[in-house]
Amino acid sequence: MKKTLLFILFLISFHHLSFGAFHVVSNQNGTERDFRSIQSAIEQAAPYDTIFVKGSPVNYGNVLLEKPLVLIGEGFSDEFYVGHTAKITRILFTANPYRRTISSGSVIMGFEFPYFPGQRPNIITVANERMNIENITLERNWLWFVEVVGNAENWVFRNNIIRGWIKGGSTGGNETQGASGFVLQNNIINSLMGFHRGEVYIENNVILGRLKDISGAVVQNNIFTREEYIMEEVYGSRFENNVASANLIGIEQCYGNPSGFESTYLCEGANNTGKGNRVGVDPEFVMWPGDDIMGGTAFKLSESSPGRGNRTNGNQAGIFGGKYPFPASVFKNPEIDDPFPSFVTSIY
């Protein structure tokens, strides 16, 4: 009862996210709940209702969203942590003008999306050509893969751990479809690729892999940890105050200055511009994430780190700088022993 009261008070503090009724989902017998499955709760909920999903050792499976809802999993805060996260395999965001349904305006918080070999992406959009899926917020989730199919606009990714990639749905410079106006702030991400339709804002992230097939990006205050080149077919973008471990940003065939973010682009596309970037330097993390990613010190910078000092929108690069510092309590779950398996950073 005390935890339920705390959670309700917590939701009141987030009243700007939710305007409707409150529903509780649990797939465990003997627990207080309104629904056993997330999909049943979604089907019965009205637009902008909040659905709280209790932690469980049993995966809740796939979710289809056809209306704007706020979904909050147990892993959102240690205040409500009971030993298990709320696990979902996949969320499918849809827009269907014939059925007059659309998932725009939804918020997804505090879920773990487990990895399965050969699986499809955890977050998929299926938008009709006449409708965009807009204004989606994903915050404090553990997930692997996100793929935009059709058009999606003005999504916010904040304080997530994205262990695989985000595909924006635009390839080869195609500006007619895919993601537009995406904002990625204070996440731990492996790789980003396929962003050409409108700007993408990449700010205060730790990026373990690379950027690929991207134009029109604003990239600032990030830390790139990959030791090899970190950009492929990235052009017409602005880079400010980023820190990179790699000595070479991209291949010489395409980048006039392969050892710098600011570079003429020798292949087809506009030049990259920027200032204040540091390349080929150790970011000086206090602790490497393989030891204890959620222990409160993973990816924190030492006092002598080149990522500290005057930055854009904050005093340091990486996930603990900027407007939305990464919360140390996200998914502090003993079940997750190795959140970054060694094969992840070699995928792309």
Residue 25 to residue 263: CA distance in whole angstroms: 51
Residues facing 72 on adjacent strands: 52, 109
Asked if residue 35 has pLDDT above 90, the reply is yes
pLDDT range class, residue 127, cuts 50, 70, 90: low
- Cβ(282)–Cβ(307) below 8 Å: no
Asked if residue 15 has pLDDT above 90, the reply is no
Q: Output the average pLDDT for the chain.
A: 82
3 state SS of 58: coil
Residues 6 or more apart from 176 whose CB is under 8 A from it? 197
* CB neighbour class for 105 (10 Å; exposed up to 12, middle 13-18, buried from 19): middle
pLDDT range class, residue 97, cuts 50, 70, 90: low
Tokens of 1: 């009862």
- The pLDDT of 73-89, averaged and rounded, is 69
Asked if residue 216 has pLDDT above 60, the reply is yes
- Look at residue 341 in the predicted model and tell me its pLDDT: 37
In 3D, which of 19, 45, 47, 51 has the Cα closest to residue 33? Answer: 51
Asked if residue 130 has pLDDT above 80, the reply is no
- Cβ(84)–Cβ(60) below 8 Å: no
Taking only the tens place, the pLDDT of each residue in 162-183 is: 988 999 988 776 677 888 899 9
- Look at residue 129 in the predicted model and tell me its pLDDT: 63
Tokens of 138: 């994903």
Asked if residue 213 has pLDDT above 80, the reply is yes
Taking only the tens place, the pLDDT of each residue in 295-344 is: 445 788 988 999 998 676 668 999 999 999 987 655 443 333 333 333 33
Sign, CA dihedral 12-109-65-149, equals: positive
Residue 128 to residue 125: CA distance in whole angstroms: 10
Please report where in the chains the tokens 């690069």 appear, as a residue: 317
The CB-side HSE value for 78 (13 A sphere, CA atoms) comes to: 10
